[in-house]
Structure 1
Amino acid sequence: MSKVDHIKRLQADPDGLDFDGLRRQGIELLQALSSGRWTDYNLHDPGVTLLELLCYGLTDLVYRTDFSVADFLTGTDGYIDYHAQALYPPQEVFPNQPVTDLDFCKLIYDRLPSVEDVWVHTHNEDHSVRGLLSVFIKPHESLFKHSDTELQQFHEKLRQDVFSLLSAQRNLCRDIAQIQIVQPQAYTLGGEVEIDDSRPRAEIYADIYFRCAKLISSGSQITRFEDMRRQGMSWEEILTGPLTTHGYIDERSFLQESYDIDVVKLITLIRHIPGVKNVHSLHLIDEQGAVHEHLEFDHHDANCPVLHFIKTPEKILDLRLQHSRGNSVNEKNVTEQLDHALSAKSQREVLAFGEQVALFLKKHEFSHDAFRRNQGDISDIVTLPQGQHREFNHYTSLGENLPAIYGINHFGVPRSEPDEVHAKAKQLKAYLYPFEQIMANYLHSLQHARDLYSIDPELDRTYFARFLTDKQISNIAPLYATHADQQEVDAILREQDHFEQRRNRVLDSLLGLYGEVFPEIELRRHDYYHADQIEQHLIDCKIQLLQHLCELSAGRGSGRNLQLASSHLSRLEQRIRILIGSYSDAVSSSLVTPLQGQIKHVSNTRYHERLLKQINVPSDLSLDKLELIAQTREMQKIHDFRLPHGQLCDSLLQNGITRENYRMFRTSEQHAWVCLVNKDEEVWPFALLPIEEISDYVQQMIDAIANVSLACEGLHVLEHILLRPRQAQTDKPLDRAISHDFYTHRVSIILPAYTARFADLKARFWIESLISEQLPAHILPDFYWLDFPFLAQFEVRQEKWLGQMRAFAEGNYSGDASALDQSSLELIEFLKKNRHPQSSRYWI
């Protein structure tokens, strides 16, 4: 190997950020700005010396900027808070909700150790409702036969577990048609195998039985994650589809429509077992005693072959283990007794041998079950980047790099020097101070890079300043004004910090890491409730999306879990509410509850009549007699504020969120009526108040109406496939003149039409388009914009239907479904009656 006999030449920084590059740029700028007065740019010039000093300081900033990203994100404890940075590990961000039939197979096989194999078939026939799943489960069967009662109980429990799992992972417009447990058909082994003395005979016998049983029964195989990584598979490939907890599952095994078992496969398997020298013959024996050398079945068959170990002398001796050194009459060699009638002694020997085999088989089954049931922690395998905590904001004054004769380092100017020298040193220190403050602020911003690129809702700045004290710049304190402190430096920098704009851009970049684009332009255009705080509202919405990003992205196509109460939001509903800016952690799935509690919804007529019945209400109100309400700079919050009369109507919801619609009608120099001017210029008087309180009262009224409106601005997603007839045979079947297309890949989106934003047609167009974009591409939505009374009727019908649906689902879709079918039909009729012509718009 040749040795390098010279030192490689140091190359210049390609970005021009090394000392030579910075000095060259500085000289060029000086020449361009002051060449008419300053022509000496040689090394001895003091100005050039200071320029080089500043360039040297900048190289330190460049050096610190080049550390790894992990170092910038590492906290004082030496760890990176990945969730605070909205940086999610592979096991959280890569997996998704099961979508394909193979995804559901992997999910069932992984989550339910009692499943030996599984097939999922989706109904796509033209004459049937598409999207229904038929699931065929091949249960795990012990090598030891159980009673029929125990087997039936085991199968029923397994069916319930599969149903609960699929209900929790159900997709929109998908449902379960049937779950069929494939019944076992028992076989035993027969044949002659030649063995050696390396292992006990019973252990070899048990090994043969167990491995053959797994080959006959098992359809798939789980491989540990670390083994797949060692084989070179990436995390993207390993974590494609639903997250598996036990290991990687190759989905190709679920693609087999049929499966054949040939004794050749079994012989090949047995020959690789330690202690086996040769296989002279092998066959399968069914319960009737018939011999088989080939079995074939598919997932539509009602039965599947399994291997049972039966501890009777005849069945044990069907599989004979022959030593290659010849037969011997002892407990290890009982095969010669097959040619003679079994004596009592030989039967005891065979049964004792069978007990030894059974112990080894139970050991194998225990190990296998432990592996299937052990839930590995994938986070122990995934190696996340780790950095080193560094004090990036440590700052040393530029003056420390100048010769002591300048008098601005920690030695200072000797006391023996005249005052003029002391004054010049202070002047130089003050001259360099702006440069030092800028560089110190830059390093302080580096220190807070993890705060800037975080989803901390309390963050209130994107530029970070540091107040330089005598620890950083020697004897700088006497140069400061008396009021100079950290707050003063922060206030100066805050004037240059367009926080809300920069914060929004940072959050956009974090969303961009995951391919997410927040509909900022549309939300600005159609936001009715945050006119003065729209930027902060956008920040809050983006942080909400980043906080729930993994579950909202992976589960955006998930449907309602029919076995749970109806109070929870689906992932799609939660995602839509975040994107339109109406989500909060305390939001309810009901869209009418905010107007059915302390605040009641009434009609416009009833509300207006209530206002006119107030004491001393003016009767001669007209627009020309009203005055504008001046807005105070600082609002004084009114304690225990309540909306007038504890009621809201559509007109107040739609007009009361705009401050320009409010006026006051003076009754004296100190008091006036607060009035609202509707779109038809009708004047509504609300309350008689002192004039100095009116502005704050109006603002709190606007805020209260906005909060109620946002709580109402959600949606209901009604899947048509769940409305299909359930009762196959009834005495009085329901007459439904409805085609299968109505139930196939269709949803009805129910929205309130009475809030200010949702009453705007342009906002409706945007929301319909947004919902259509977020839905899976194969699902066709119908939109229903309902007034409050109709929406309340819908929720009553839906709640009744969901309760019956939950009871039906808890019974695994069995039992009397006539009441459920009747409720489904009532919902369908409600949709027909309230369908608006505009709801036929299709967004593609």
Structure 2
Amino acid sequence: MDNKGYISKKKKGSSLYEELHEEALEILQKFSGSVWTDYNEHDPGVTLLENISYAITELAHKTSLPIQDLLQSSKGTVLQSGDNGLFVASDILTTNPVTFNDYRKIWIDQIPNVKNVWVYPIDDYEKELNNIKGLLHVFVEKYEYHVDPTQEATENKQIIDEVQDLYNSHRNLCESLYAVEVYKPLTLSVDLRITLLDLVDGEEILANILHRINDYLAPEVSYYSLRKLQEENIPTHTIFNGPHLVNGFIKDEDLKNPLDVIEVSEIIKIISKIPGVVNINDFCLNYVDPTTKEQHIIKERLQVPKNTTARVRFPLSNEKLIFENSGVSFQPDLKETKKQLAFIQALDASKFKAASNSLNNIAIPQGTMQDIGYHYPIRKQFPEIYGIGDRGIGHGATPLRQAQVKQLQAYLLPFDQLIINFLSQLCNIYTLYDVHNNEDASYFTNILPDTNDLLDLIAPPSSTYTPDQVKAYWEKKTNDLNAFFDNHSLERLNKVSDQLLSRYSEAFQTYTLLKINKSSYGDAMSSKRFEKQLLAAKQELIKEYASISYNRSKSFNYKNISIHPEEDKKQAIPGIFRKIAILMGVNDFKIKSLIKNISESGIRIHPQTLDIDFIVREIDIHTPEENIGIVEIEDIVVNEEIEENLFHTMHYVGDEDTLLNSVLKYGIIPDNYTIKKDPNKKERYYISHQRNDNKSNIVHIAKSREKATKVIEKSINYLIDVSQKSEGFFVVEHVLLLPSYFGDYFGFEIDFSLLNPELEIVCSHADLTPFVKRDETITNLIEALLAKEAQFNIVSANGVYQLEIGATNGDVFAISKTSFESKEALQKIIEGFKNEVNHTEKEDIEAITKCHVFYGDHAIDEHFFSFRLSFVMPKWPVRFQNENFQKVFENTIYEQIPIHIGSSSYWLDYKTMYLFETYYFKWLELLQHPDADEDKMYQAYQLIKLLQKLDNNEA
């Protein structure tokens, strides 16, 4: 823009005020041109138009204020993360660890003396073998290793415990930690002869050499500040992608794999690049074998032993450290070298941790507090000659003039009220989008700022109200009028919530849920009540979205889970399960007993002669005053054994297996109740209830029709409440049902007939072993078969013959489950088997191998445990009985859970749920006790057996 040295004059007609004024004049001329020809500024109509245009201009100005000004002024305080569903980057873009690198970052960031961590799956996911997937093996590299074995062992145990605790706090669904191991140090020493430049400090050079060699052998992970990453033009969503860290940000590319081979040539290159080094005359690394205690010299390369980290120790002697400078040879001073090395390491450490105290978040834009709701009344903007301002008109004004003044004030009053209402709406923009707000209002109003000057205009006719009563009357009138126009507030607030959810590409199946609600509850629950519940669910998802999104793939910390939710109001629920519960309208979702909810609700189910009585004791309306014998009124028959109870309880009768379901489903329908009067007794009314089998029974006796009606209404509301409180679900991660990975519980079975039907032989493990040992046995067996090195031995037992497959060293891999009556028959199978293996691939044998976990004598296919979830739901809540709801629920589960995880859904009746909960809560409690392996295995197997029966529709 050119700097002209002066402020340009505003063009005429370029302001909003002028646009409004001109447009209004055009409209006036169009509609009243034949009767009104004077549109000059002195005309009162034009004056009125000017003031209204000015007032509207002020509204437009306030509306166009920056959004942070509007929100902060509306809230009245500084904006926080989560307000109106707006979250800061560190809350909404970060996530609980998902990848192996994510886990590595939190361990490196939060555990002292952990330099690096590596995570590996126990099994190669690309194998055809159907063994357990999702088990992780963790290896830890430390900064410092202690010379004292006791001190080293103590610290290693502490680190392992911290790694396990941190993992359990961030564990992903259907995954588990197999083991944690701390790398052992391989200590190297350096021998060297180097030529240096003149005036170079040899001690500083040696310190640099030691530091850079160790950085090559075991590089330290760097931290970055937000500003540094932004300077590198890394997108914000990439910077914050991953877990929230304490010390800044770690790049994925900095998380390198452990060094497998030490190349001396690479180290020489590193040393040669140090300023001051002229020539490397001689260099080698030495180490002492920890097993044989023999010293080895590394001249070219060294394969780093498994689970070992190599590092150069500080020299104990300078005997083999020779520097040459100007033809003079000298040995460095080790004390001075140690000081120089400490200084270099301190500088390097400060670089790595430089981000720890940085501002690593994007701040919320802070607004300026504005008096948005202030309005200077239009009548006060008129010239004093009009007499409608603060000074009024003269005392000598005629009654007609006084009346005209009042008339003009009354004419302007609606304009001011409309403006005040508009500003009130603007002042409540934060409230309108506030997901913590429980009010139903979507329109807002306010009182006029000059109400005290208008009391005679707004007071009710012929009233003797005081000024305060007049203002209260006017406020009530405006609020009532506002409520009249705000009669669709729930619909609008739901649309507001939908708009907020759309920021995260989230949506509720509103129409479907409304239809399901209508078909489930009928007239027992109004659409308005359900819309309010739906709005509350949407708001819950919005305000919890940062936490739900962060913990979406995170699972329970089963080492620290409360099984008494009434004592733990903040039970940690995985984000994915909280989200499913909210999307399906399940309130207050926790791990809690659903059976206990029924048993404590006042409902009793007890056996009777043929039927079952379903008794609700929470609807006491009155108490019985007399005992009456058997009553027969036309088709009404009441047994005297329960007649007295019928005065203060509700007795629903039905079949034992379906009573709870049918009472909740049909007991909430008002049309199923009928009130009949006893013609022989004055104060006796019978309430009959029609069941789903079109049969009726007397459920209650009241002393008046009004009380009978009240009992029905209270019963329906009570049953709805019981039904909604019974809504919930359980989730079982199959991997957690496994026994100890290090116990002898794992075996396998290979059916060779699947390769060739003529090979009618099935082989299984020779012995049950720990998990990894079993996998190694299978691998060795397959490799021996393919390499034609397997040994086939025929053994006899109980008059029959079996095949043993072993290794050349005598180890037995497997033994045939199939028995043969003669050696010849078995030998024929062996020959055919050898021929078949000649053209069989490794993947083919893996595919016919079944891996099993053994619970005593019971074998469970390991496919059952790999990335599998089971959702268990009660079948008795009213909505949960609806088949369409069940389909929507299962579809929601399918849409929300990670794609690599398979799930099954089960809808249990009361009896089966009672059995499930008995095993489930006992097992959940035992998960927190590592020494209770046998009891835990028993409860786990009961759950497995129940889930398998449900799969086969046997439960």
Q: Quote the residue 2:246 is aligned against.
A: 245
Distance 2:393 2:616 in 1: 83
Amino acid at match of 2:245: T
**1:152-163 equivalences in 2 (<5 Å):** 152-163=153-164
TM-score by length of structure 1 reads 0.83
Which amino acid letter does the alignment assign opposite residue 169 of structure 1? H
SS at match of 1:660: helix
Within 5 Å, give how 1:233-632 maps onto structure 2.
233-254=234-255, 256=257, 260-263=261-264, 266=267, 281-287=282-288, 288-292=294-298, 295=301, 301-309=306-314, 312-313=316-317, 316-320=318-322, 326=328, 334=331, 353-354=334-335, 357-358=337-338, 376=356, 381-470=361-450, 475-482=453-460, 483=470, 484-497=473-486, 498-527=488-517, 528=521, 530-531=525-526, 532-565=528-561, 567=563, 568=571, 569-584=573-588, 587-597=590-600, 599-600=602-603, 602=605, 608-609=612-613, 616=628, 620=632
Question: Which amino acid counterpart does residue 453 of structure 1 have in structure 2?
Answer: Y
User: What is the aligned-residue RMSD (CA, Å)?
Assistant: 4.0
What secondary structure does 1:663 align onto? strand
Residue of structure 2 in register with 1:149 after alignment: 150
What code does the residue aligned with 2:677 have? Answer: R
Match of 1:137 among 136, 139, 145: 139
Counterparts of 1:705 and 1:137 in 2: how far apart (Å)?
55
Answer yes or no: is the 8 Å Cα contact 2:272–2:278 preserved in 1: yes
* Alignment partner, residue 678 of structure 1: 691
Once residues 212 and 251 of structure 2 are traced to their aligned partners in structure 1, the CA distance between those partners, rounded to angstroms, is 20
Query: In the TM superposition, what whole-angstrom CA distance separates every residue of 1:658-691 from its partner, at most 9, and x where no partner exists?
Result: 3333333434554434443322232241353554
How is 1:153-232 mapped onto 2 (pairs within 5 angstroms)? 153-192=154-193, 205-218=206-219, 220-232=221-233
How far the C-alpha of 1:305 sits from its partner, in A, is 1.1
Change (3 A) 1:360 1:17: same
For 1:286 and 1:112, the matched residues in 2 are separated by: 29
Structure-2 residue corresponding to 1:729:
744
Q: Is residue 117–residue 138 contact of structure 1 (8 Å, CA) maintained in 2?
A: yes
Cα pair distance change 1:121/1:674, threshold 3 Å:
same
Deviation at 1:377, TM superposition (A): 6.6
Contact 1:193 1:278 in 2 (8 A): yes
Q: What does residue 638 of structure 1 align with?
A: none
Please give the residue correspondences for 1:651-800 in structure 2 after superposition, counting only pairs within 5 Å. 651-667=662-678, 668-681=681-694, 682-688=696-702, 690-724=704-738, 726=740, 728-729=743-744, 733-734=854-855, 735=857, 738-800=860-922
Q: Distance in 2 between matches of 1:374 and 1:589?
A: 46
Which one has a bigger Cα radius of gyration? Answer: 2
> Match of 2:821?
none
Residue 50 (structure 1) aligned with residue 44 (structure 2) = no
Distance 1:612 1:61, change over 3 A: closer
Letter in 1 for 2:905: F
The 3 A distance-change label for structure 1 pair 126 and 39 is farther
8 Å CA contact 2:94, 2:244 repeated in 1: yes
Change (3 A) 1:154 1:445: same
Q: List runs of 5+ in structure 2 lacking aligned partners.
A: 289-293, 461-469, 564-570, 618-623, 639-646, 654-658, 746-766, 769-853
Q: Residue type of the partner of 1:234? A: P
1:627-646 aligned within 5 A:
none
Query: CA-to-partner distance for each residue in 1:727-766, whole Å, 9 max, x for gaps?
Result: 5525885455544433333221111011211112122112
Relative to structure 2, which stretch is displaced further, 509-518 or 616-625? 616-625
Q: Tell me how far 1:129 sits from its aligned partner.
A: 3.5
Residue matched to 1:115: 114
- Separation of aligned partners in 2, 1:156 and 1:290: 31
Worse overlay, 827-836 or 422-431: 827-836
How far 1:592 moved relative to its partner? 1.7
Aligned equivalents of 1:102, 1:55: Cα separation in 2: 62
Distance 1:188 1:459, change over 3 A: farther
Classify 1:654/1:180 alpha carbon distance in 2 versus 1 (closer, same or farther; 3 Å): same
> Contact 1:604–1:649 (CA<8 Å) still a contact in 2?
no
- What is the alpha-carbon distance in structure 1 between the residues aligned to residue 373 and residue 722 of structure 2? 46
Aligned residues: percent identity? 23
Distance 1:700 1:325 in 2: 106
Provide closer, same or farther for how the CA distance between residues 56 and 591 of structure 1 changes in structure 2, counting only shifts above 3 A.
same
Give the C-alpha shift of residue 385 in structure 1.
0.5
CA distance in 1, matches of 2:22, 2:633: 76
- Distance (Å, rounded) in 2 between the aligned partners of 1:319 and 1:112: 36
Tell me, yes or no, if the aligned pair for 1:121 and 1:135 is still in contact at 8 Å.
Answer: yes
Distance 1:621 1:198 in 2: 121
Separation (CA, whole Å) in 2 of partners of 1:18 and 1:617? 86
Shift of 1:174: 2.0
Q: Deviations over 1:782-817 (max 9, x none)?
A: 111110110111111122333343334xx7xxxx85
Provide the secondary structure at the position in 1 that maps to 2:597: helix
The separation in 2 between residues aligned to 1:661 and 1:17, in whole angstroms, is 68
Residue pair 1:173, 1:721 contacting (<8 A) in 2 also:
yes
- Per the alignment, residue 93 of structure 1 pairs with 92
Distance in 2, matches of 1:738 and 1:234, equals 48
Distance 2:133 2:511 in 1: 36
Distance 1:432 1:100 in 2: 66
User: Matches of 1:800 and 1:461 in 2, distance apart?
Assistant: 47
Structure 1 portions without partners, runs of 5+: 328-332, 336-349, 627-640, 840-844
Instruction: State the shift of 1:260 in Å.
Output: 4.8
| AA matched with 1:801 | W
Question: For the structure 1 residues 415 and 359, does the alpha-carbon distance in structure 2 shift closer, same or farther, using more than 3 Å as the test?
Answer: same
Listed one character per residue, the Cα deviations across residues 128-163 of structure 1 (whole Å, up to 9, x for unaligned) are 435424334232132x65223332333232222222
Q: Conserved in 1, the CA contact under 8 Å of 2:192 and 2:281?
A: yes
Structure 2 CA distance, aligned partners of 1:618 and 1:274?
110
What's 1:832 paired with? 948
Structure 1 pair 276–119 and aligned structure 2 pair: CA distance change class (3 A)? same
Over 3 Å counting, the alpha-carbon distance change for 1:432 and 1:651 in structure 2 is: same
Letter in 2 for 1:139: E
TM-superposed CA distance for 1:54, in Å, is: 1.4
Note closer, same or farther for the CA distance 1:267–1:409 as it changes in structure 2 (3 Å cut).
farther
Number of matched pairs:
787
Query: Is contact 1:107-1:242 (8 Å) kept?
Result: yes
Q: Indicate how the Cα distance of structure 1 residues 650 and 32 shifts in structure 2: closer, same or farther if over 3 A, else same.
A: farther
- Give SS of 1:245's match: coil
State whether residues 392 and 447 of structure 1, in contact with CA within 8 Å, keep that contact through their aligned partners in structure 2. yes
**CA 1:474–1:806 in structure 2 vs 1: closer, same or farther (change >3 Å)?**
closer
- Could you tell me whether the CA contact under 8 Å between 1:173 and 1:744 is conserved in 2? yes
Q: Is the 8 A contact 2:548 2:574 kept in 1?
A: no
Letter in 2 for 1:23: H
